[in-house]
Chains A and B, each alone.
Chain A
Amino acid sequence: MSPSPDPAARHQEGARHLSPARVLDVDPLLEDPKTRIVVCCGSGGVGKTTTAAALGLRAAERGRKVVVLTIDPARRLAQSMGIDSLDNTPRRVKGVDDSAGGELHAMMLDMKRTFDEIVEAHADPDRAAAILGNPFYQSLSAGFAGTQEYMAMEKLGQLRARDDWDLIVVDTPPSRSALDFLDAPKRLGSFLDGKLIRVLLAPAKVGGRAGMKFLNVGMSMMTGVLGKVLGGQFLKDVQTFVAAMDSMFGGFRTRADATYKLLQAPGTAFLVVAAPERDALREAAYFVERLAAEDMPLAGLVLNRVHGSGADRLSAERALAAAENLEDPRIVDQDDGKAGLRNSPDTQDSSGSPESAPEEPEASRPTETSQRTEAPGTAEDTPERSADRLAAGLLRLHAERMHLLAREQRTRDRFTARHPEVAVTEVAALPGDVHDLAGLRDIGARLAAGRPELPEPGA
């Protein structure tokens, strides 16, 4: 961003920075009673879970009865909701402003527990005990690829069916591909419904029937191969498991389909969460395209960790040049150069106000002569030298900030060019993590404001 001599052009540039895309208005979405499910998705490490919690809190304080389903919250985030260890049951969060009649509940997905509950709910006690004790089941439920995603969707379906809450905010699992949660239910569904299951079931089920004999031979051969590969005991465990689960398979498939349809329903809103970094936004763009392909309703993009500057009219280049002047007293002390520099701001500054010229006497420093006698880099303890040193440091910091701003703007522009239809809300970067409800509330306010607030002067 080099300083442009044309104030109008610079002004336009500034305007583009403020509203480059449609702004996502979070509050109407959260307040609308027709919004029943908000799904936060995106790649890992972009603040998905925090966003989900902040949205849940904001909706609750605006009168809705909310449950937030988190997948793997950081300890601090769970604590920020006043709950030291979230578990598989929604817990009411205390300290929420309930003057609008809302409530906030939070829970953390326990996939094994969720799976166990399904088994207990759909099988008689003996059969349930057999399944729960099966080694194959224990491995499957404790977390193999896809189970977490499947159980997250299962839990979502359960919460929705209970109808105890009028808004469910869901965080999605940190998958190797951010889209696994869309695929896993289908994959598990088709596995449990598929040909392989029939094969595995074959010896147990088809056994006595003469008409099936030919088929049975083929299948025995097949299971023989599987047995050889996997080891006999393992295959027996799988078969026992499959036989015990047989009555539930239809149910799995039906529920997976129902949850998938629920995600496409008008009461559902997807929010893609990203940070203004190349990889995160590339993933976000991919996500937007995938959701469209699946007919999933996208509400918009939440762009976390966006940086701003209260001094964004001072370009990085000018800040660095000024810092160099301050750090090298020999240049500063050259009267010609200095006079030239002092005059430059008013021609380059966008506001073009003429106030600096009369101030020059005030700005000049009476101790310059004494400084010149000091060796550079030593004895920097005179107040003027330390003020110069600090000013130079602040200017370098500012230059770094301006470079960051430009980079973030570029990556974001690239996303907007590809998906101009997607509404965006920006959340200003926080220096630290969220520790309490006040922190979550602050993030909620930033989410609703749509664009980052500039640092408060003197804050």
Chain B
Amino acid sequence: MSRLQVVSGKGGTGKTTVAAALALALATEGKRALLVEVEGRQGIAQLFETEALPYEERKIAVAPGGGEVYALAIDPELALLDYLQMFYKLGSAGRALKKLGAIDFATTIAPGVRDVLLTGKACEAVRRKDRSGRFVYDYVVMDAPPTGRITRFLNVNDEVAGLAKVGPIHNQAQAVMRVLKSRETAVHLVTLLEEMPVQETADGIAELRAARLPVGRVIVNMVRPAVLDAADLDLVRDTPRAALARSLSGAGLGGARRGGHAERLVDPLLAQAEEYAERYALEEEQRAVLTDLGLPLHELPLFAEGMDLAGLYELATELRKQGIA
């Protein structure tokens, strides 16, 4: 199993939730996982119902069987100062740079420096060892930028290595790329059973493959339970309306005669079934498109009442059951 698990997906597909559940699942039974947030949205803190995460690795959850999940929200500005300190020991020069706006420049506008720092920090955590030579984290899970930007984000070090042709940044960029393009890394894409996210997933996979980045799994999130199956939907077509009205009436919902309560339920209930059938057909279509991608495909259920901590543990269990972790 790859030690760096990158989770991307179209906005709104719940990639942060999936990343968090994956970290919990990987930490299960005595392992230690680090969950890394790179977009500064504090989504992880919200999910784990804790206060905003500082820029430090902090234990946020205990996984079943004694595992531990640590979290880190990377602040690009502090990461850059960190990085300068690491390579140059420039305490005061770092502050001077900050005063000049160089840090702001570097982290928000300069070509990819921000992304270099974010990927660099994650790779550093992957490689970090303790005194006895053991990896500090068994797994690092990254809540990464959305599908539309993921390839560029992960590949930024290639670009930077090309721009800065010598110097420590060049070397660092190359070291990061070696991790990202190896079997140590797997990039998973989270999607919904809807046309646009599925299309973006297919495009994203093509881009990742073209950039020789290791594509992992496709995870369909928020899958709605099937209330009616194909056989039920056939019944919608074949059942006479009067018979349906009689059944509804028999269940205690009023009269079946024309204008009776049960009879008046038939049209709206059938209209809802019609909508359901249309969505069902669309979902089946999208499922087929995803299957054709030829990657391991997983489905996670929708939590209708919204995601909370208990739901997160349920998703983690589900991920383990499906052999993802």
Which of B84, B87, B269 is within 8 Å of A311, CB to CB? B269
Interface class of chain B by DSSP = helix
Q: Which residues of B contact A421 (CB under 8 A)?
A: none
Residue of chain B at shortest CB distance from A226: B102
In the complex, whether B91 has a CB less than 8 A from a CB of chain A is: no
Residue contacts A-B, CB under 8 angstroms, 15 given: A76-B195, A196-B105, A231-B170, A322-B251, A340-B252, A355-B255, A356-B262, A363-B250, A364-B250, A384-B243, A386-B238, A393-B232, A431-B278, A432-B282, A458-B270
Which of A44, A393, A459 is within 8 Å of B146, CB to CB? A44
CB neighbors of B among A425-459 (8 A):
431-433, 454-459
In the complex, whether B58 has a CB less than 8 A from a CB of chain A is: no
In the complex, whether B75 has a CB less than 8 A from a CB of chain A is: no
Q: Which residues of B contact A72 (CB under 8 A)?
A: 148
Q: How far is the CA of A387 from the CA of B266 in the complex (A)?
A: 12
In the complex, whether B10 has a CB less than 8 A from a CB of chain A is: yes
Q: Which residues of A contact B179 (CB under 8 A)?
A: none
Given that A144-B112, A188-B109 are known contacts, is A363 also in contact with B163, CB under 8 Å in the complex? no
Given that A359-B257, A394-B269 are known contacts, is A177 also in contact with B41, CB under 8 Å in the complex? yes
Q: Which residues of B contact A232 (CB under 8 A)?
A: 166-167
| Contact indicator A359/B249 (Cβ below 8 Å) | yes
Which of A74, A363, A456 lies at the interface centre, i.e. has the most chain B CB atoms within 10 A of its CB?
A363
| Contact indicator B268/A309 (Cβ below 8 Å) | yes
Which of B167, B227, B247, B252 is within 8 Å of A387, CB to CB? B247
CB neighbors of B among A169-208 (8 A):
174, 176-177, 187-188, 190-191, 194-196, 199
Q: Which residues of A contact B305 (CB under 8 A)?
A: 407
Chain A nearest Cβ from B45, distance in angstroms: 14
| Contact indicator A356/B255 (Cβ below 8 Å) | yes
Lowest 7 CB-CB distances: which A-B pairs, in order? A45-B12, A44-B11, A310-B268, A341-B252, A231-B164, A359-B255, A231-B167
| Contact indicator A456/B239 (Cβ below 8 Å) | no
In the complex, whether A25 has a CB less than 8 A from a CB of chain B is: no
CB neighbors of A among B89-122 (8 A):
90, 93, 96-97, 100-102, 104-105, 108-112, 114
| Contact indicator B159/A139 (Cβ below 8 Å) | yes
Q: How far is the CA of A226 from the CA of B159 in the complex (A)?
A: 19
Chain A residues at the B interface, C-beta cutoff of 8 Å: 43-46, 72, 74-76, 135-136, 139-140, 143-147, 174, 176-177, 187-188, 190-191, 194-196, 199, 222, 225-226, 228-234, 237, 278, 280, 309-311, 314, 318, 321-323, 325-326, 332, 338, 340-342, 344-346, 349, 351, 353, 355-356, 358-360, 362-365, 383-384, 386-398, 400-401, 403-404, 407, 431-433, 454-459
In the complex, whether B300 has a CB less than 8 A from a CB of chain A is: no
Q: Which residues of A contact B235 (CB under 8 A)?
A: 386-387, 389-390, 393
Which of B112, B274, B306 is within 8 Å of A139, CB to CB? B112
Q: How far is the CA of A54 from the CA of B285 in the complex (A)?
A: 26
In the complex, whether B152 has a CB less than 8 A from a CB of chain A is: yes
In the complex, whether B256 has a CB less than 8 A from a CB of chain A is: yes
Q: Which residues of A contact B274 (CB under 8 A)?
A: 455, 459
Q: Which residues of A contact B262 (CB under 8 A)?
A: 345, 356, 363
Which of A225, A322, A344, A363 is within 8 Å of B255, CB to CB? A363
Residue of chain A at shortest CB distance from B235: A390
| Contact indicator B11/A143 (Cβ below 8 Å) | no
| Contact indicator A390/B169 (Cβ below 8 Å) | no
In the complex, whether B40 has a CB less than 8 A from a CB of chain A is: yes
Instruction: Please tell me the size bucket of the interface on B.
Output: 35 or more
Which of A46, A332, A356, A394 is within 8 Å of B272, CB to CB? A394
Given that A72-B148, A387-B244, A407-B304 are known contacts, is A344 also in contact with B272, CB under 8 Å in the complex? no
In the complex, whether B273 has a CB less than 8 A from a CB of chain A is: yes
| Contact indicator A191/B105 (Cβ below 8 Å) | yes
One digit per residue, 1 when the CB lies within 8 angstroms of any chain A CB and 0 when it does not, for chain B 67-97 equals: 0000000000000000010011010010011
CB neighbors of A among B162-177 (8 A):
163-170
Q: How far is the CA of A278 from the CA of B195 in the complex (A)?
A: 23
Q: How far is the CA of A338 from the CA of B101 in the complex (A)?
A: 78
| Contact indicator A363/B256 (Cβ below 8 Å) | yes
Given that A139-B163, A174-B146 are known contacts, is A229 also in contact with B88, CB under 8 Å in the complex? yes
Given that A144-B110, A349-B261 are known contacts, is A388 also in contact with B272, CB under 8 Å in the complex? no
| Contact indicator B253/A457 (Cβ below 8 Å) | no
Chain B residues at the A interface, C-beta cutoff of 8 Å: 10-13, 39-41, 84, 87-88, 90, 93, 96-97, 100-102, 104-105, 108-112, 114, 145-146, 148, 152, 159, 163-170, 194-197, 199, 227-228, 232, 235-236, 238-240, 243-244, 246-257, 259-262, 265, 267-276, 278-279, 282, 304-306
Q: How far is the CA of A162 from the CA of B75 in the complex (A)?
A: 41
Q: Which residues of B contact A226 (CB under 8 A)?
A: 97, 102
Q: How far is the CA of A314 from the CA of B267 in the complex (A)?
A: 13
| Contact indicator B109/A145 (Cβ below 8 Å) | yes
Given that A177-B41, A390-B236 are known contacts, is A457 also in contact with B271, CB under 8 Å in the complex? yes
| Contact indicator B250/A431 (Cβ below 8 Å) | no
Residue of chain A at shortest CB distance from B259: A355
Given that A196-B105, A363-B262 are known contacts, is A455 also in contact with B169, CB under 8 Å in the complex? no
Q: Which residues of A contact B146 (CB under 8 A)?
A: 44, 174
| Contact indicator B228/A397 (Cβ below 8 Å) | yes
Q: Which residues of B contact A456 (CB under 8 A)?
A: 271
Which of A146, A177, A229, A355 is within 8 Å of B84, CB to CB? A229
| Contact indicator A195/B100 (Cβ below 8 Å) | yes
Residue of chain A at shortest CB distance from B196: A74
Chain A nearest Cβ from B325, distance in angstroms: 25
| Contact indicator A400/B227 (Cβ below 8 Å) | yes
| Contact indicator B304/A145 (Cβ below 8 Å) | no
Which of A344, A351, A458 lies at the interface centre, i.e. has the most chain B CB atoms within 10 A of its CB?
A458
| Contact indicator A345/B265 (Cβ below 8 Å) | no
Q: How far is the CA of A309 from the CA of B268 in the complex (A)?
A: 7
| Contact indicator A231/B165 (Cβ below 8 Å) | yes
| Contact indicator A225/B90 (Cβ below 8 Å) | yes
| Contact indicator B164/A386 (Cβ below 8 Å) | no
| Contact indicator A314/B265 (Cβ below 8 Å) | yes
Q: How far is the CA of A384 from the CA of B252 in the complex (A)?
A: 16
| Contact indicator B108/A146 (Cβ below 8 Å) | yes
Which of B166, B168, B261, B278 is within 8 Å of A356, CB to CB? B261
Given that A135-B163, A136-B163, A457-B267 are known contacts, is A431 also in contact with B244, CB under 8 Å in the complex? no
Residue of chain B at shortest CB distance from A403: B304
Given that A45-B11, A332-B250 are known contacts, is A362 also in contact with B257, CB under 8 Å in the complex? yes
| Contact indicator B273/A394 (Cβ below 8 Å) | yes
| Contact indicator A431/B282 (Cβ below 8 Å) | yes
Q: Which residues of A contact B250 (CB under 8 A)?
A: 325-326, 332, 338, 363-365, 388
Given that A356-B254, A395-B269 are known contacts, is A194 also in contact with B101, CB under 8 Å in the complex? yes
Residue of chain B at shortest CB distance from A344: B252
Q: How far is the CA of A360 from the CA of B159 in the complex (A)?
A: 77
Residue of chain A at shortest CB distance from B278: A431
Residue of chain B at shortest CB distance from A225: B93
